[in-house]
Amino acid sequence: MPAFDPASLVHALGIDAQAGRRIGLILVEDENMGGAATAVLRTLSALAASGCRVEELPADGRALLRRLWRGMEETSPDRETLPLPDYVRWLTTLPAGYEQELATGWKRPEDDPLFRAGTLDCGHFLIPAARFGDAAIVAWSMRAKPSTASTPPHGHLAAVAWLRDIFGAQAVLTIDGKGAVTVAPPPF
């Protein structure tokens, strides 16, 4: 697992860590979930060392994964959601033709396993997320993705919309099970 140089990481993000900027991390859940979770914790520690406000880090990768999935429980006080109208509005910001590709590969947003129908509203997406001060993590599960789809599913995109519009992330890092970190600056 590569060591992270905090100064290089913050420079790659193109932000001033001291300015209270918010950073989103996408943990790509694949066959090596533990490796991805450990890489996320190392990245958060590097960000904290560079001056980012990172709070209440879990002790290890397993605790991080438990916290992310605990937030998906209906009764969890840490539960994060994205209302369907906000998601549909966010989709209009994507490049032309993307919505059609998404509809072809994944059908309607309401068909996504992370979508919950509402009784008094239009429904919402459950977001597997956890906040740690000026950093937030969302989990993407790659186990259910069919090979014919050319886009991420609605639930994954709802998590990106949540990072940008609800959490207010100015940059997003994607971290996989091999510990590879990809920086996606705005507009992600």
Closest CA relative to residue 155, chosen from 170, 147, 143? 143
Kindly state the average pLDDT of the residues 145-153.
69
- The better pLDDT of the pair 127, 147 is held by 127
pLDDT of 87: 95
What would you measure as the largest C-alpha separation in the chain, in angstroms?
Answer: 48
pLDDT tens by residue, 3-62: 455 556 655 665 555 566 889 998 887 666 777 888 889 888 888 887 888 998 999 988
Give the best-scoring range by mean pLDDT among 8-12, 126-130, 145-149.
126-130
DSSP H helices in 6-163 = 6-13, 33-49, 61-70, 84-91, 98-106, 154-161
Instruction: Delimit the domains of the chain by residue range.
Output: 6-17+29-71+79-184
pLDDT of residue 176 exceeding 80: no
Q: Tokens representing 62?
A: 């397993």
pLDDT of residue 161 exceeding 90: yes
pTM of the model: 0.84
* Average pLDDT of every residue of the chain: 81
Kindly state the average pLDDT of the residues 61-72.
85
- Place 108 in a pLDDT band, splitting at 50, 70 and 90: very high
Kindly state the average pLDDT of the residues 67-82.
84
Q: Which residues touch 148 (CB under 8 Å, ≥6 apart)?
A: 105
Q: What percent of the chain has pLDDT over 90?
A: 31
pLDDT of 16: 54
Closest CA relative to residue 83, chosen from 107, 108, 117, 111? 117
Q: Tokens representing 32?
A: 């090596």
Q: Which amino acid is at 26?
A: I
Closest CA relative to residue 157, chosen from 117, 110, 109? 109
